């Protein structure tokens, strides 16, 4: 096997960011890709005007790109925040206000995966209070995702870069996945397996893949060190993706890496042109 055996999409919130949001789908298409994903693009608001949602849908449609992953509102990301759903008060309220907006937008563009970032620990707030709130909000998000035929994703980040984020190992994220599925009975909550984050945590990636491939709904990659394109570090991403496929994972692989000093369009030389369009 090799890279050509996988289905790749480009994360337009980390690649092509030198361009305005509405120009990025066409740029990804020009580089040969037909599938893309996004963090919540409107970091200031969970409820943008319908005209802004319509404009993004048009940009995706005009470029011929399929949106395959979308984050719910996650606060200032990029920035200091790592999600909103476990943060009591205004941020939790914003997440709730976003749930149906994000789900309806996903439905409008045929996106089948919604990622809910957990949120940082808040100083002076009992962790149990945050976790109870998180489960309530994740149940609402899972039901909204189910309504539009989508899965809900729970992501583990890495402790060095996200020291206040509680889900910084595959088992900690899987525990939340299981709790949400148990609470809803829907079975549509899955693990977002990000090989970069897990490697930064020092986890045994082969072991994680073997243990959790069946609970994985989406995969993201970047090399380590540096969070650059495959081949810029020493992660052995090709072998890891092949292991995932052999373990039964057939889903998308999101390219969530930094292009470095060069324009994003030049950051895909590791992937043959013929392997970029979604199969």
- Give pLDDT tens digits for 10-68: 999 999 999 999 999 999 999 999 999 999 999 999 999 999 999 999 999 999 999 99
Given 37, 91, 203, 256, the catalytic residue: 256
Does 256 qualify as catalytic in the annotation? yes
Average pLDDT over residues 174-184: 99
Q: H or E segment at 196?
A: helix 195-200
Given 37, 91, 155, 203, the catalytic residue: 155
Residue 79: Cβ-neighbour burial (10 angstroms; 0-12, 13-18, 19+): exposed
First to last CA, the chain: 15
Of the candidates 157, 42, 14, 166, the one whose C-alpha atom is nearest the C-alpha of residue 98 is 42
Angle (CA) 203 123 167, round 5°:
20
Q: Is the pLDDT of residue 1 over 90?
A: no
State how far the Cα of 109 lies from the Cα of 112, in Å rounded to an integer: 9
* Digit-coded pLDDT (tens) for 257-269: 999 999 999 999 9
Report the pLDDT value the prediction gives residue 279, as an integer from 0 to 100. Answer: 79
Report the pLDDT value the prediction gives residue 107, as an integer from 0 to 100. Answer: 98
Total residue length of the chain: 279
DSSP, collapsed to helix, strand or coil, labels residue 49 as coil
Answer for the pair 169, 197: CB distance below 8 angstroms, yes or no. Answer: no
Distances (CA, A) of 222 to 64, 235, 266: 25, 9, 16
Q: H or E segment at 210?
A: helix 205-212
* Digit-coded pLDDT (tens) for 85-106: 999 999 999 999 999 999 999 9
Residue indicated by tokens 């009975």? 185
Report the pLDDT value the prediction gives residue 2, as an integer from 0 to 100. Answer: 86
180, two tokens: 């949400």
Q: Is the pLDDT of residue 178 over 90?
A: yes
Average pLDDT over residues 192-213: 98
Answer for the pair 212, 251: CB distance below 8 angstroms, yes or no. Answer: no
Answer for the pair 36, 9: CB distance below 8 angstroms, yes or no. Answer: yes
Answer for the pair 242, 5: CB distance below 8 angstroms, yes or no. Answer: yes
Of the candidates 260, 225, 274, 197, the one whose C-alpha atom is nearest the C-alpha of residue 8 is 274
Report the pLDDT value the prediction gives residue 84, as an integer from 0 to 100. Answer: 98
* Digit-coded pLDDT (tens) for 126-136: 999 999 999 99
* Digit-coded pLDDT (tens) for 212-256: 999 999 999 999 999 999 999 999 999 999 999 999 999 999 999
* Banded model confidence at residue 185, pLDDT cuts 50, 70, 90: very high
Report the pLDDT value the prediction gives residue 94, as an integer from 0 to 100. Answer: 98
Distances (CA, A) of 3 to 7, 118, 176, 207, 230: 9, 31, 31, 21, 10
DSSP, collapsed to helix, strand or coil, labels residue 90 as helix
């Amino acid at each position: 096997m090799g890279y050509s055996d996988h289905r790749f999409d480009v994360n337009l919130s980390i690649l092509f960011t030198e361009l305005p949001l509405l120009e990025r789908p066409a740029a990804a298409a020009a580089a040969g890709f037909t599938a893309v994903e996004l963090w919540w693009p409107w970091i200031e608001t969970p409820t943008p005007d319908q005209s802004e949602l319509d404009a993004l849908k048009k940009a995706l449609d005009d470029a011929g790109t399929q949106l395959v992953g979308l984050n719910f509102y996650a606060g200032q990301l990029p920035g200091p925040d790592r999600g909103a759903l476990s943060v009591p008060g205004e941020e939790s309220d914003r997440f709730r206000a976003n749930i149906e907006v994000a789900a309806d937008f996903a439905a409008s563009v045929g996106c089948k995966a919604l990622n809910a970032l957990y949120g940082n620990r808040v100083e002076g707030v009992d962790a149990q209070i945050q976790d109870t709130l998180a489960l309530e909000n994740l149940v609402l998000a899972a039901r909204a995702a189910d309504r539009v035929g989508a899965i809900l994703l729970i992501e583990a980040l890495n402790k060095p870069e996200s020291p206040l984020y509680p889900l910084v190992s595959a088992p900690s994220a899987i525990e939340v996945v299981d709790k949400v599925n148990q609470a809803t009975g829907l079975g549509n909550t899955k693990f977002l397996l990000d090989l970069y984050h897990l490697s930064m945590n020092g986890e045994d990636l082969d072991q994680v893949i073997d243990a959790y491939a069946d609970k994985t709904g989406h995969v993201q990659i970047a090399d380590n060190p540096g969070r650059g394109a495959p081949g810029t570090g020493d992660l052995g991403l090709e072998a890891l993706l092949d292991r995932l496929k052999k373990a039964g994972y057939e889903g998308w692989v999101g390219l969530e890496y930094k292009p470095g000093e060069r324009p994003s369009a030049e950051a895909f030389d590791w992937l043959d042109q013929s392997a970029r369009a979604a199969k």
